[in-house]
């Protein structure tokens, strides 16, 4: 039997198809989030990715015959009804009932810590922090509220902070000029993409490369450390970590801004633990 493993965020989904012989093929598709995306959009994106994968397996789903496929799906927004929505769509599209769906936080915990306990965080387009006991996520954590009400320290929140501060001239003139000199970037364009665009979180996160390019600027350094401090204060501290406890991270933002993240952690008397770009860096744990 084939095993299909998915690690899905709001920006992209990584898929790994493991053949019975152990060979692995990697695929990449649209980001998926059952909490923020409409049913039709979820189905379309899943059909595109799974169509390519099933074609590679030379399998056509059939209602009369169980597809020889085991699916393990980890995704942003996969809690409560989000799990039910993704499970149903996966069954309908693949033709298999061998489906397990977990949140992306479970993937982070398994990838970073395996069977050990600790605090694991996600810093990608969005953000999250959870207490992981070596098998599951604690139920008394902080809710992940998305880019409008939460996601402190994530790419969307960083981008929102950058463009808002620049538009309101809260950043030095040289940074404002550099940002609005980028082709297609203006206050009106930002408003259009954020309030009328199809993927506002992804659009806001697209400004992370600008932050990386100017990270040595004192104002950008301060913005990054402050935003990561907000993430720690609002998401990590409520989990009750001990002083000098290592806090582990997965996500491109955490990886690219390790120095600023470590500075923010030290200010709160914590240590930076292990940092992975993605759970697929430890595919064997998933």
Per-residue pLDDT of 210-223, as tens digits, reads: 999 999 999 999 99
Q: How confident is the model at residue 204 (pLDDT cuts 50, 70, 90)?
A: very high
pLDDT score recorded for residue 213: 96
Beta bridge partners of 71: 4, 99
Q: Where are the alpha helices (DSSP H) in the chain?
A: 39-57, 81-94, 104-113, 146-149, 155-167, 173-180, 187-195, 200-205, 208-213, 218-231, 252-256, 258-267
User: Model's pTM, two decimal places?
Assistant: 0.84
pLDDT at residue 65, as a whole number: 52
- % helix, strand, coil for the chain, step of 5: 45, 20, 35
What single-letter DSSP state applies at residue 153?
T
Name the band, by pLDDT with cuts 50, 70 and 90, for residue 67: low
What single-letter DSSP state applies at residue 137?
Answer: B
More confident residue, 159 or 49: 159
- pLDDT of 153 reads 94
Can 2-97 and 115-282 be said to share one CATH topology? yes
pLDDT at 57: 74
Greater model confidence, 14 or 21? 14
Cα separations (Å) of 264 from 90, 95, 170, 231?
40, 47, 21, 9
Measured CA to CA, the distance from residue 10 to residue 30 in angstroms comes to 8
Domain 2-97 class in CATH:
alpha beta
Q: Is 3.90.1150.10 the CATH number for 115-282?
A: no
Edge-to-edge strand ranges of the sheet holding 118-123? 127-132, 118-123, 246-250, 271-276
Question: Which helix (DSSP H) or strand (DSSP E) does residue 20 occupy?
Answer: none
Quick: pLDDT tens for 82-135: 899 999 999 988 888 899 999 888 999 999 998 899 999 999 888 999 999 888
Whole-number pLDDT of residue 64: 46
Contact 47, 93 (CB under 8 A): yes
- Residue 249 pLDDT greater than 80, yes or no: yes
Instruction: Count the helices and strands in the chain (H runs, E runs).
Output: 12, 9
Other C-beta atoms lying within 10 Å of the C-beta of residue 75: 26
**Would you give the DSSP letter of residue 217?**
S
SS3 25: strand
**CA 166 vs CA 7, 126, 213, 268: distances in Å:** 34, 21, 16, 28
From residue 29, alpha-carbon distances to 32, 46, 66, 163, 262 in Å are 9, 8, 24, 28, 31
CA Rg value for the chain: 20
Q: Which two tokens stand for residue 174?
A: 């040289």
| pLDDT exceeds 60 at position 267 | yes
Listed by start position, the domains of the chain span 2-97, 115-282
Local confidence band at 186 (pLDDT 50, 70, 90 cut-offs): very high
Q: What residues contact 199, with CB distance under 8 A and at least 6 apart?
A: 31
| Half-sphere exposure at residue 188, Cβ-oriented, CA atoms within 13 angstroms | 2
List C-alpha distances in Å: 204 to 128, 140, 180, 195, 278: 17, 30, 14, 11, 20
Higher confidence at residue 230 or residue 78?
230
């Amino acid at each position: 039997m084939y095993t299909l493993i998915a690690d899905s965020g709001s920006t992209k989904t990584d898929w790994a198809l493991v053949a019975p012989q152990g060979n692995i093929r990697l695929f990449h598709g649209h980001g998926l989030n059952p909490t923020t995306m409409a049913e039709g959009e979820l189905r379309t994106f899943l059909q595109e990715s799974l169509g390519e994968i099933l074609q590679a397996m030379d399998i056509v789903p059939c209602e009369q015959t169980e597809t020889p496929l085991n699916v393990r799906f980890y995704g942003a927004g996969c809690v409560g009804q989000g799990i039910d929505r993704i499970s149903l769509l996966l069954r309908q599209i693949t033709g298999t009932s061998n489906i397990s769906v977990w949140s992306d936080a479970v993937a982070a915990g398994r990838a970073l810590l395996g069977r050990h306990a600790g605090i694991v965080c996600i810093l990608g387009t969005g953000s999250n922090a959870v207490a992981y006991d070596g098998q599951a996520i604690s139920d008394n954590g902080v809710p992940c509220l998305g880019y409008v009400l939460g996601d402190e320290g994530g790419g969307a929140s960083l981008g929102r902070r950058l463009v808002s501060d620049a538009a309101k001239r809260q950043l030095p003139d040289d940074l404002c000029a550099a940002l609005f000199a980028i082709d297609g970037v203006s206050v009106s364009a930002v408003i259009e993409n954020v309030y009328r665009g199809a993927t506002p979180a992804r659009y806001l996160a697209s400004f992370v490369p600008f932050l990386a390019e100017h990270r040595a600027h004192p104002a950008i350094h301060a913005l990054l450390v402050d935003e990561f401090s907000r993430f720690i204060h609002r998401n990590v501290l409520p989990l009750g970590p001990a002083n000098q406890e290592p806090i582990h991270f997965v996500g491109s933002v955490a990886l690219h801004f390790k120095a600023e993240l470590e500075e923010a952690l030290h200010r709160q008397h914590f240590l930076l633990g292990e940092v992975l770009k993605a759970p697929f860096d430890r595919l064997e744990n998933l």
